[in-house]
Structure 1
Amino acid sequence: MKVNHWSLPNGATCVVADIEQSTLTCIDFWCKGGSLYEMKDQEGMAHFLEHMIFKGSKNLKEGEFDLRIESLGGSSNAATGLDDVHYHVLVPPEKMEEGLKLILELLLFPKIEQDAFEMEKEVVLEEIAQNIEQPDEIIYMKLLKECLTPHRYSKPILGDEKTVKSINSKQMKLFHKNHYVGKNCTLCIAGELPKDIYSIINNSKLKELKTIAEETNISSKTTFNKGYKKEKIPRLEGGRILKAWKLHPAKEQVLILGAEIAATMLCDGKSSLIVKDLREEKRIIESIDIDLQILEEGGLILLDISCPQENLKIAESEINKILKELNRGLITHKDLERAKKLVINNIYFGLELSTQIASALGNQALWGRHQSILKSIDDISYWTTSRLNELIFPLFDPENAFTLIAEPEK
């Protein structure tokens, strides 16, 4: 696989990955336009705009984009995150140029017409209403609010009913104008590519992105609040223990890799430390998961345990005990080698499809991390038990966490 990066005069970054004999080619457009960039009282704007992008452009009627992509034998999707938003289309290689024209037309020149805007606002509000009824979502948002306030990362990506209702189409057009500009955007295409791919991209409508964006006063450092709280959650089945710790910013790739290795040793598979002790042997928990929320300004390590409500107290005590003793010889060289192998496998599994490759390369390029897509595999060898003891296990100290104990509301 050959990967090349370059920039257009307007600052837009371009990445291509030539994958010979790939059955499908992915066109992935990334923008620094996630919920981090929303103004106060306009939370939900970035996600709402993602909806409106698909409602047509200057030269595409509502619904026309989807029909034309489908006629090419392709599909499309989009996702809004805290830091960024991305849109992709997947098409047969011979239809790549037409697919690129369609997605750039849609993204760069959205109509945002008033009637469609008001109708889609109701769709977004219904999505919010459904979301806030889900116990998992309630718990997650309470945790973010407690440990990250006042940073914008503490706000829900969907916004809430009040903020979304207050957004008007003029504000949305301004948000698009200010953020969908050259220096904030990356186009990544992965798959079997035509020989004139560079000419196709350089002469595409991507060059019409404006150069200058209005500067937004975005904080450059997350806050993290330690603490402890108990909550009653409607419709929750059983008890939940959630812990959050501060994680390094996304640019600290080697340290994040170390945290991933540690999380794998703790709870990935029956032989992992916590699963083996608390689920397989003592049988006091039902499940445990550790997720790394990797964010540009500083992310989170999120631990989530499900257990019978009557086991909450003992489960929390046992978890804290294990976490406290991590750097006291609990982890063996055999545990480390097993975890490294699983992490390497996950990296390879996550790069099997053109969509996965385009997403990984596009995100890296958007944030200025021009490195080999497999660099993490080379970095694995850096991690030894002594380095984990020194640099990673202290991150998991219960005293540095925000802990949320969730119980069913009677």
Structure 2
Amino acid sequence: MKVVKLSNGVTVSVREREDLNSVTVSVWIRAGASYETDRTRGIAHFLEHMMFNGSKNLPAGAIDREVESLGGEINAATSYDYTYYYINLPYEHGKRALELIAELVLNPLLSEEMLQKEKPIVLEEIARSKDNPQEIFAEKFMEKLYRKAPYRFPILGFEETVKEFTAEDLRNFYESLYTPERITVSIAGKVESEEMFSVTEELFGSLKRNSEVKEPEEEKAVTVADEFTVTHPAVAVPNVLLGWRLPRASREDIYYEILDSLLSSGRSSLLYRRLKEKGLAYGVYSSYQNLLLGSNFYIVVITDRIDESRKALKDTLQEVLSISKEEFEFAKEKLYKGEMFARESGEAEADAIGYALTVMRDKDYYEKFFSDLKEANYKEFLKRVQFLQEEPLTGLLLPAR
């Protein structure tokens, strides 16, 4: 991969892939839900919607229609630490993909008229989320796990905040956070680097916008042992969740990724063998969530044998604390193969590179993944997983009686 920084501060990366017949062009902005205030909860996600409602040079829907007519796809996503927009097209349309995504991201109208049309759509999305027990459960987990970091608020925001958004609110958020030094253009596919850099310079190099952004406060990696319960009529089988708060995302994430591989990667994983295979759970999985202000690790068990599953899970976590070096190396090998498979996709590479350069501000977070994995030390791993001895945050998702 090749990376350059334009004179105005925009970062551009190109990953040439001669084995592909497509190109992914994505624009990443360090501007997610973490940068909202109490009055503007949900505005990062709302702005993502509004970016598709017309630009200075193209009416609403025109970019979507052109991308589809060229045989591609266009979409976007908002998270806590970032928002990104992407276009996938056949490789011969790489330049046009850049032109279209630049028009989308750099020239949005953000009109009052379109804002009023978009509000019912976003409010409906919030209402639907309340009908989804898994979303409610996940939001409650984040609310309980974090005491200071803005991750305790839902990305969609609240009905009462979204209703009050104005076009001025959107423009203020956009102009303060969609600034050159917070933007990365990540390109992966069958392209020629110098051509892509040249076109990107033409399109993004003239952006001049400065603002002082107060970065959210990082939260210390301390898990407060607590328990919460969510009940919902749509729940058929109870879920048990155990979660721990961890340090902010860094290249040390590799140890938590290995832990995730050890616990829940395939039928050979510990959780599968100790719970699913023995009939104690219908499903069980773990996940590491790498976040800028404090990460987390959690395990979910889908079971109607709650007490037995919790005991088996506790025993399994004790087993991890003294896992053999052979099992550790096997977990590393599974993680290696999984990442190799994931990187076959140009879109996945553009995403991973965009995250590394925009959120982590460290290209080595992506480029040195495999060397970090190879060098991951067994004794260091045993130290890193000691948090499993701490009392976790425990959540129960139960059928409503």
TM over 0.5: yes
Cα contact 2:22–2:190 (8 A) shared by 1: yes
Name 1:404's counterpart in structure 2: 395
User: Out of 372, 378, 384, which is 1:385 matched to?
Assistant: 378
CA positional deviation for 1:325: 4.3
Q: 1:190 touches 1:354 (CA, 8 Å); kept in 2?
A: yes
Secondary structure of the residue that 2:59 maps to in structure 1?
coil
Query: Would you say 1:312 and 2:301 are equivalent positions?
Result: no
Which of 71, 76, 79 is the equivalent residue of 2:77?
A: 79
Contact 1:43-1:157 within 8 A present in 2 as well: yes
Q: Which residue of 206, 211, 214 maps to 1:213? A: 211
In 1, distance between residues paired with 2:143 and 2:220? 13
Tell me which of 33, 49, 52 is aligned to 1:51: 49
Question: Is structure 2 residue 323 aligned with structure 1 residue 345?
Answer: no
Q: 2:289 aligns to what?
A: 293
Work out whether 1:302 is the aligned partner of 2:298. yes
Q: Does 1:89 align with 2:87?
A: yes
Per the TM alignment, residue 302 of structure 1 is displaced from its structure 2 partner at its CA by 1.4
> For each residue in 1:139-185, what CA deviation from the matched residue of structure 2 results, as whole angstroms up to 9, or x when unmatched?
11111111113320111111121111121111011100111110110
Residue 33 of structure 1 aligns to a residue whose secondary structure is coil
Q: State the 1:17 CA deviation.
A: 1.2
Paired residue for 1:277, among 260, 274, 277?
274
Percent of matched pairs sharing the same residue: 27
Q: Deviations over 1:199-219 (max 9, x none)?
A: 212122x12322412323521
SS at match of 1:193: coil
Count, aligned residues: 398
TM-score by length of 1: 0.92
Instruction: Confirm or deny that 1:321 pairs with 2:315.
Output: yes
C-alpha separation in 1, matches of 2:339 and 2:367: 8
For the structure 1 residues 258 and 372, does the alpha-carbon distance in structure 2 shift closer, same or farther, using more than 3 Å as the test?
closer
Q: CA separation of 1:21/1:376 partners in 2, compared to 1, >3 Å: closer, same or farther?
A: closer
Q: Which residue is equivalent to 2:130?
A: 132
Give the 3 Å change call, closer, same or farther, for CA 68–232 of structure 1 in structure 2: closer
Is 1:265 the counterpart of 2:262? The answer is yes
Partner Cα separation in structure 2 for residue 263 and residue 144 of structure 1:
19
Q: 1:134 and 1:226, CA in 2 relative to 1: closer, same or farther beyond 3 A?
A: same
Distance in 1 between the 2:118 and 2:36 partners? 19
- Quick check: 1:32 aligned with 2:23? no
The AA in structure 2 aligned to 1:386 is K
Letter in 2 for 1:380: L
- Residue in structure 1 matching 2:189, options 191, 205, 208: 191
Q: Which amino acid aligns with 1:36?
A: S
The alpha-carbon distance between structure 1 residues 200 and 40, as it changes in their structure 2 partners (threshold 3 A), is: same
Q: What secondary structure, in the 3-state scheme, does the structure 1 residue paired with 2:216 have?
A: coil
Contact 1:249-1:297 at 8 Å conserved across structures: yes
Q: Residues 53 and 112 of structure 1 are in contact (CA less than 8 Å); yes or no, is this contact kept in structure 2?
A: yes
Cα deviations by residue, 1:209-261 (Å, 9 ceiling, x for unpaired): 224123235213357541222414112122211111122322x22x2111111
Name the amino acid aligned to 2:386: P
> Is the CA contact 2:145–2:245 (under 8 Å) kept in the aligned structure 1?
no
Q: Report the alpha carbon displacement of residue 374 of structure 1 after superposing the two structures with TM.
A: 4.7
8 Å CA contact retained: 1:293, 1:299: yes
Partner SS, residue 163 of structure 1: helix
Tell me the distance in 1 between the aligned counterparts of 2:155 and 2:220. Answer: 16
1:156-171 equivalent positions in 2, closer than 5 A: 156-171=154-169
Distance change (3 Å), C-alpha of 1:260 and 1:223: closer
Q: Deviations over 1:13-71 (max 9, x none)?
A: 11111112520111110001100111122111000000000001111101111122223
Structure 1 segments, 4+ long, off by >6 Å, are none
In 1, Cα distance between equivalents of 2:239 and 2:19: 47
1:42–1:222 distance in 2 versus 1, CA, 3 Å: farther
Q: Distance in 2 between matches of 1:108 and 1:239?
A: 46
Unaligned runs of 5+ in 1: none
AA matched with 1:41 = R
Q: Could you tell me whether the CA contact under 8 Å between 1:287 and 1:306 is conserved in 2? A: yes
Letter in 2 for 1:389: L
CA distance in 1, matches of 2:104, 2:40: 23
Counterpart secondary structure, 1:48: helix
Distance 1:28 1:274 in 2: 36
The range that moved more, 373-382 or 349-358, is: 373-382
Matched residue of 1:110: which SS? coil
Residues 49/380 of structure 1: CA separation in 2 closer, same or farther (3 Å cut): same
What are structure 2's unaligned runs of at least 5 residues?
A: none
| Counterpart code for 1:51 | H
The separation in 1 between residues aligned to 2:376 and 2:195, in whole angstroms, is: 42
The two structures have a TM-score, normalised by structure 2, of 0.94
* Separation in 2, partners of 1:372, 1:33: 19
Report the aligned-residue RMSD.
1.8
Q: Secondary structure at the residue paired with 2:38?
A: coil
Letter in 2 for 1:302: Y
Partners of 1:11 and 1:211 within 8 A in 2? no
Distance 1:278 1:291, change over 3 A: same
